[in-house]
Structure 1
Amino acid sequence: MKRSALTRLGMLAGLTTIALLPATAHAAAPSEQDTQYLRTIHQVNLAAVEIGQSAQGKQDVDQGVRDLGGEMVSNHTQLDEEVTRVAGEVNVSLPDAPDQEQQDLVDRLNGLDGGEFDTAFVESQLMGYAQVIEVNNAEIAQGTDEQVVDLAQEADPVLNDLYTSLQQLAASLGLPTSPSPGVSPTLPAPTVSPSTPLPAQS
């Protein structure tokens, strides 16, 4: 009986070890590329939600601006849920708020109304989305953690669809449909170079 009990305990310990293998196998820290991507895309999501809410809440701006603001809130909220989930699984801590440059843009847009808001919103977001697509492309090409790369691949059509909507909105407002130099974006310039090209800008 004693030997049988010890045998069962040994088998249980072996099964426990096997059950823990997947978690242990993923315990390796993600690369700096993967880590920076998760933190950057999270802050982009936070800033985009705030900017979208600002656009939604203004009554004297173009209806297309309000509508796109609503899409930004919805899409970036859903995307950030996935970012937060993946970051938790790979043990990457995320910032609690947008960075200072992003927050400055949010504050500036909150202080504008009417046509001034429309123009600043479109110009800043064209620049911001062009840059975040570049960051996203870099993660797809250079990332090493499978979960993080998969996340970037899922984010790709979301970001590109919003960018296309911005270009269409810009055209309807008589504004340039590609980023203008010197316009404040929603995130700093990427620190990694993509291996895949940006979408065509008309």
Structure 2
Amino acid sequence: MGSLVYPSMLGVQKVSSAPDRVIGHPATGPLTEADRDFVVKVRAAGLWEYPVGQMATQKGTTKAIKTAGNHLIAGHASLDAACRGVAGELDITLPNQPSPQQQAFVAQLNAESGKQFDTDTATILRATQGQILSMIASVRTITKNSLIRALADQTNHTVMDHIAIVEKTGLVDFDRALSQPTNPPGLPAQDTTPPPPVAGQPQVVLPSPSHSTLSPGSVGGGSEEAGRTS
């Protein structure tokens, strides 16, 4: 997943230009641009993988794919709750939709069916999850903020679970997953950047499995449950 760039209206600059720049001094430790970027990326990941998990439980043709879907739903519901909590404490603005590129992943899988859906779901997820591991390690190693460290720990646990369960499907095309970057060189920044939330729009919530009312493929929600203010 590429470095996310938010408009200046959100107070987020190009993190790659100064990732070590301290932007705040909360009680939990100095907050850097890289820390803030990490929270936004975690949020965006859940906003597209959660509906993919829902699709997998309903459209998957194998028990293994359906099981992977359940792991995605449960994992991202829990992780998103933690992410929203951290963002609230650190005054970080979160997106309500994933990036256009991530939305395209959802649209592609939503249009597929059968074995093609199963294979592409497993392969795309393995590619994106594999790439996010290095980001987690980097943030966890250098951050001086205890809330960011805790979120990195939880994110690492969730991503490793998702990688393992996706690999257990036996459907990952590793040649594709490992050779084709999910953020190819030259891809416009706006394609890898989640759009800013609309002013006054309630914060989207990824509900736990027992309370889920999101429709599969509905990136950014649309239901009353998913759109409630946290």
Compute the TM-score of the two structures, normalised by the length of structure 2. 0.64
Task: Identify which of structures 1 and 2 has the higher relative contact order when contacts are C-alpha pairs closer than 8 Å and 6+ apart.
Answer: 2
- Please, which runs of 5 or more residues in structure 1 have no aligned partner? 1-23, 189-202
Q: Which amino acid aligns with 1:90?
A: L
Larger radius of gyration, structure 1 or 2? Answer: 1
Q: 1:183 to 1:148 in 2, by over 3 A?
A: closer
RMSD, matched Cα? 2.4
User: Distance between the aligned counterparts of 2:133 and 2:103, measured in 1?
Assistant: 20
1:166 corresponds to which residue?
166
Q: Is the 8 A contact 1:52 1:69 kept in 2?
A: yes
More off after superposition, 43-52 vs 134-143: 134-143
Q: Aligned residues, how many? A: 161
Alpha-carbon shift at residue 157 of structure 1 (Å): 1.7
Q: 1:27 to 1:65 in 2, by over 3 A?
A: closer
- Which residue, 165, 178, 181 being the options, matches 1:180? 178
Q: Is the 8 A contact 1:43 1:99 kept in 2?
A: yes
User: Distance between the aligned counterparts of 2:113 and 2:62, measured in 1?
Assistant: 10
User: Distance between the aligned counterparts of 2:175 and 2:26, measured in 1?
Assistant: 46
> Residue 133 of structure 1: SS of its match in structure 2?
helix
1:90 corresponds to which residue?
90
User: Distance between the aligned counterparts of 1:90 and 1:34, measured in 2?
Assistant: 10
- Please, which runs of 5 or more residues in structure 2 have no aligned partner? 1-24, 184-190, 193-230
Post-superposition Cα deviations, 1:67-95, rounded to whole Å, max 9, x if no partner, equal 11111001111111000001100110101
Q: 1:178 to 1:155 in 2, by over 3 A?
A: farther
> Residue 180 of structure 1: SS of its match in structure 2?
helix
2:31 corresponds to which residue?
30
More off after superposition, 28-37 vs 136-145: 28-37
Pairwise mapping of residues 1-202 of structure 1 onto structure 2 (< 5 A)? Answer: 25-26=26-27, 30-58=31-59, 61-170=61-170, 173=171, 175-176=173-174, 179-182=177-180, 184=182
Q: Is the 8 A contact 1:123 1:183 kept in 2?
A: no
Alpha-carbon shift at residue 127 of structure 1 (Å): 0.4
Alpha-carbon shift at residue 26 of structure 1 (Å): 2.9
User: Distance between the aligned counterparts of 2:29 and 2:134, measured in 1?
Assistant: 26
User: Distance between the aligned counterparts of 1:48 and 1:71, measured in 2?
Assistant: 10
Q: 1:136 to 1:65 in 2, by over 3 A?
A: same
Percent identity (aligned):
20
Q: Is the 8 A contact 1:127 1:184 kept in 2?
A: yes
Alpha-carbon shift at residue 140 of structure 1 (Å): 0.5
Q: Which amino acid aligns with 1:161?
A: D
Q: 1:25 to 1:181 in 2, by over 3 A?
A: closer
Q: Is the 8 A contact 2:44 2:98 kept in 1?
A: yes
